[in-house]
Amino acid sequence: MKESLIDILKVKFLISEDAVKNWKFIIFTSLLAVIMITSSHSIDKKVFEIDSLNDEVLELKSEFVDVRSKVQQLKLESNITQKVKDKGLVASVIPPKKIKVTNKKSD
């Protein structure tokens, strides 16, 4: 056991006769490590992008609610009559009359 530990420390497993098998394994594991690191960085980038998009969605929802409440206030009859009052328009005191149209068939 002591000799095998010394062989590992001297890296004899990389220069012995069957070292090709060991080199293939080392290259394979190194390639897998590079793929794993690249994948991890890609996922982190997507997570940050999703987070920023979620923040933007929340901001846009808030802006939508604000604008919708302002529009509802502007659509109120009291606000409209107040704005057109400056132009000399007032609400009619006489209620509107319903007009019925009948078609007379001439034979």
Distance, CA of 33 to CA of 42 (rounded, Å)? 14
Query: In this predicted structure, what is the pLDDT of residue 35?
Result: 98
Query: In this predicted structure, what is the pLDDT of residue 36?
Result: 98
Query: In this predicted structure, what is the pLDDT of residue 96?
Result: 87
Question: What's the whole-number mean pLDDT along residues 45-74?
Answer: 96
Query: In this predicted structure, what is the pLDDT of residue 48?
Result: 97
Domain holding 8, by residue range, is 2-85
Would the pLDDT of 21 be above 60?
yes
Q: Which of 29, 2, 28, 26 is nearest to 15 (CA)?
A: 26
Q: For residue 69, is it within any domain?
A: yes
Query: In this predicted structure, what is the pLDDT of residue 38?
Result: 97
Q: For residue 98, is it within any domain?
A: no
Q: For residue 106, is it within any domain?
A: no
Q: For residue 105, is it within any domain?
A: no
Overall domain count for the chain: 1
Indicate the average pLDDT of the chain: 89
Q: For residue 19, is it within any domain?
A: yes
Q: For residue 45, is it within any domain?
A: yes
Q: Which of 60, 58, 92 is nearest to 77 (CA)?
A: 92
Distance, CA of 80 to CA of 83 (rounded, Å)? 5
Q: For residue 103, is it within any domain?
A: no
**By the 8 A CB rule, do 5 and 14 touch?**
no
Tokens of 58: 């929340």
Q: For residue 91, is it within any domain?
A: no
Distance, CA of 91 to CA of 57 (rounded, Å)? 42
